Amino acid sequence: MFNLGQWFRDIGLTWFPFNINIHAYAICILIGIVAATVFTAYRLKRRGADPGVVLDIALWAVPLGIIGARIFHVLTHPDDYFGPGKDLLKTLYIWEGGLAIFGGLVLGAVGALIGCRIAGVRFWSFADALAPALLLAQAFGRLGNWFNHELFGVPTTLPWGLQIEKTNPAFPVGLPAGTLFLPTFLYEIIWNLIGIAVILFLEKKFTLQWGKVIALYLIWYGLGRSYLESVRIDPSEIFLGVRTNVWAAWGAILVGLIIFFVQRRRHPALEPSPYLPGREWTPQPAVHSVETYSEFDEDDNDADPHRTSDSAQVSAVKPVTSGVGTKS
């Protein structure tokens, strides 16, 4: 946590009275959202869409995604928020950590569907453009787990093991100080970055569209998360002997497989456009003007009254227009 107000006072702005705490976890989440938005806009532009349309969709997808992620986390960690002596307001303290990607995917998809309908964009086109950007955003989010010293794995003797302070509430009882733990969030960062490269390669090689890219994302992330979740030691609800997030990861794999094969059967051809029929976007020229200019000395122009060349004796009226080519 960084106290911005104290920093202002330390550099001489002693009149600044407020303490503004900036949490590293929240910064990582925000950076991830911005990075995913920029990446998705770039990919949509390459598909022929207005890159700015991603902001119209994000206005719906991001807030609902955050709400869904928080709800899923709270429901799968009830002992942290409910019971005697617990503060219910802490269910809202997302800067302390606790955003579950699976809940974010569910409500985020609802928000994206609403945004796409309003913007006139095909939902599958947006989802495919977003797929690798989601992995990028999640990588930044996992970096926030490092700052919070949370969601680590079982004890290990590996040289890159993570040392957690014994005062950490998540430190297992009975283990000695200095115990190293698997940095599962680091493993997930690496898995996600590899996933970006794999998805981009497969998308280009097989020209994947119509939701097949987001299907690959669900399969890839579900595979990695199902293992990494199984070696984490943070408390979680257990169903039939399996952590709830492992069940969610298996569900993501299943949904991804269904989307991939159903969409491959329904849409063997390429997408005609990232826009819904009748909602296509036409790029506007950079300059569009029908104004003319003249070398004659007329009122309110800058013609030279002493000009004596032949060109000054005749009107040279030329339209000034320019445009841009079709975007790819």
Per residue in 207-234, pLDDT tens? 999 999 999 999 999 999 999 999 998 8
Angle, nearest 10°, between helix axes 123-148 and 24-46? 160
pLDDT exceeds 60 at position 310: no
Across the range 8-37, mean pLDDT stands at 81
Residues 121, 71 share a domain: yes
- Please name every residue paired with 287 in a beta bridge, in sequence order, or none if there are none: 322
Count structural domains, the chain: 2
| pLDDT reported for residue 85 | 83
pLDDT digits (tens, 9 = 90+) for 257-281: 999 999 999 999 999 889 988 777 6
Residues 320, 229 share a domain: no
| pLDDT reported for residue 21 | 73
Residues 325, 231 share a domain: no
* Residue 277 belongs to some domain of the structure: no
Query: Residue 326: which domain range?
Result: 287-328
* Residue 279 belongs to some domain of the structure: no
* Residue 304 belongs to some domain of the structure: yes
Q: Answer with the residue of higher pLDDT: 15 or 128.
A: 128
Across the range 55-78, mean pLDDT stands at 93
Residues 321, 198 share a domain: no
Q: Answer with the residue of higher pLDDT: 266 or 146.
A: 266
Lowest pLDDT segment from 5-9, 83-87, 102-106, 172-176: 5-9
* Residue 276 belongs to some domain of the structure: no
| pLDDT reported for residue 282 | 65
* Residue 272 belongs to some domain of the structure: no
Domain final position from 234, 266, 298:
266
Alpha helices in the chain (DSSP H): 4-10, 24-46, 53-76, 101-119, 123-148, 184-206, 212-230, 244-266
pLDDT exceeds 60 at position 309: no
* Residue 282 belongs to some domain of the structure: no
* Residue 321 belongs to some domain of the structure: yes
- Phi, psi for 297 (deg, rounded to 5): -80, 95
Residues 217, 314 share a domain: no
* Residue 273 belongs to some domain of the structure: no
Domain final position from 213, 236, 266:
266
| pLDDT reported for residue 288 | 54
Residues 299, 257 share a domain: no
Across the range 287-305, mean pLDDT stands at 54
Across the range 273-301, mean pLDDT stands at 64
Residues 187, 123 share a domain: yes
Domain final position from 266, 296, 314:
266
Residues 316, 187 share a domain: no
Residues 291, 257 share a domain: no
Residues 131, 186 share a domain: yes
Burial annotation 46-70 (CB, 10 A radius, 16+ → b, else e): ebbbbeebbebbbebbbebbbbbbb
The percent of residues in the chain predicted with pLDDT above 70, rounded, is 82
Residues 218, 326 share a domain: no
Which of 21-30, 158-167, 290-299 has the highest average model confidence (pLDDT)? 158-167
Reported for 36-45, long-range contacts at CB under 8 A and 24+ positions apart, including other chains, are 36/130, 36/133, 36/134, 36/136, 36/137, 37/133, 39/132, 39/133, 39/136, 40/126, 40/129, 40/130, 40/133, 43/129, 43/130, 43/132, 43/133, 44/121, 44/125, 44/126, 44/129, 44/274, 45/327
pTM of the model: 0.80
pLDDT digits (tens, 9 = 90+) for 52-64: 999 999 999 999 9
Q: What is the band of 253 on the pLDDT scale with cuts at 50, 70, 90?
A: very high
Residues 223, 309 share a domain: no
